Structure 1
Amino acid sequence: MDGKHMQIGEVAARTELSLRTIRHYEDTGLVTPSARSQGGFRLYTETDVARLMVIRRMKPLGFTLDEMRDLLEATDRLDAEESGGTEEREALLERVRRYEQAASRKIADLRAQLERAEDFAGTLRTRLAAAP
């Protein structure tokens, strides 16, 4: 385990995710609390927070829950002490590479969309400035 445990409220504050969202990610199997308190409260570690941050960063790029799960599974396996042979490691790295490429494409699409939105806002500002 990686040290100190946090309750869900602290994790929510650190990740800027709602309690409901964190519970949803738990229900869908994307994150699992590392422990439970004697009173049954979910307890999380820094590793759990890092995992939630990956999910949080994937969400606005339009990745699905299944894609999030797939990437997290690949990175979990890469991080595991007993990661398999060279062939398995290369296959896992290729999976991660595909997500990096997809993220780069999605970012380019968002930049183009933002540029169009800024042009539109500029057109409106020009129109308003020219209005009598």
Structure 2
Amino acid sequence: MDGKHMQIGEVAARTELSLRTIRHYEETGLVVPSARSQGGFRLYTEADVARLMVIRRMKPLGFTLDQMRDLLEATDRLDSRAELPVGEREELLDRVRDYRETARQRVAALRTQLARAEEFAATLDECLTSARRP
């Protein structure tokens, strides 16, 4: 191998995703290996790893596969070397901004949920501490 491509096992280790999950994302069209080895093994690039990391980061925020696909398509178009008409560029930027706002809202909701869970755990600690007293 020329060092530019990685096999799926290395990608799994770097992204902390299972082989099965990476294959699932391939089957759904979210990520496509950049190449195949002579033996037919999937080969990935740094760009493929970056794409998988976007997917991995969206998952805990509850984004659907369709939403992941939509965001990736928008960012792919924005990152492409092709000239985009101003209207299309603005529409793509608006889509990315919408995802950013949704992500921020979901992160805030998760922080609230975590704070409530920590309060509950502290309540249980207090309960156990007070139960030990004679």
Match of 1:12 in 2: 12
Q: Which amino acid aligns with 2:20?
A: R
Normalization by structure 2: what TM-score? Answer: 0.95
Match of 1:36 in 2: 36
Distance 1:83 1:59 in 2: 31
Match of 1:22 in 2: 22
Distance 1:83 1:60 in 2: 34
Match of 1:52 in 2: 52
Map Cα deviations across residues 19-63 of structure 1 (whole Å, 9 max, x no partner). 000000000000000000011000000000000000000000000
Number of residue pairs matched by the alignment:
130
Would you say the 8 A contact 1:4–1:45 is kept in 2? yes
Distance 1:12 1:101 in 2: 29
> Unaligned stretches of 5+ in structure 1?
none
Match of 1:91 in 2: 91
Q: Secondary structure at the match of 1:30?
A: coil
Q: Secondary structure at the match of 2:43?
A: strand
Distance 2:48 2:118 in 1: 37
> Unaligned stretches of 5+ in structure 2?
none
Q: Which amino acid aligns with 1:31?
A: V
Distance 1:95 1:29 in 2: 20
Match of 1:131 in 2: 131
The alignment's C-alpha RMSD in Å is 0.8
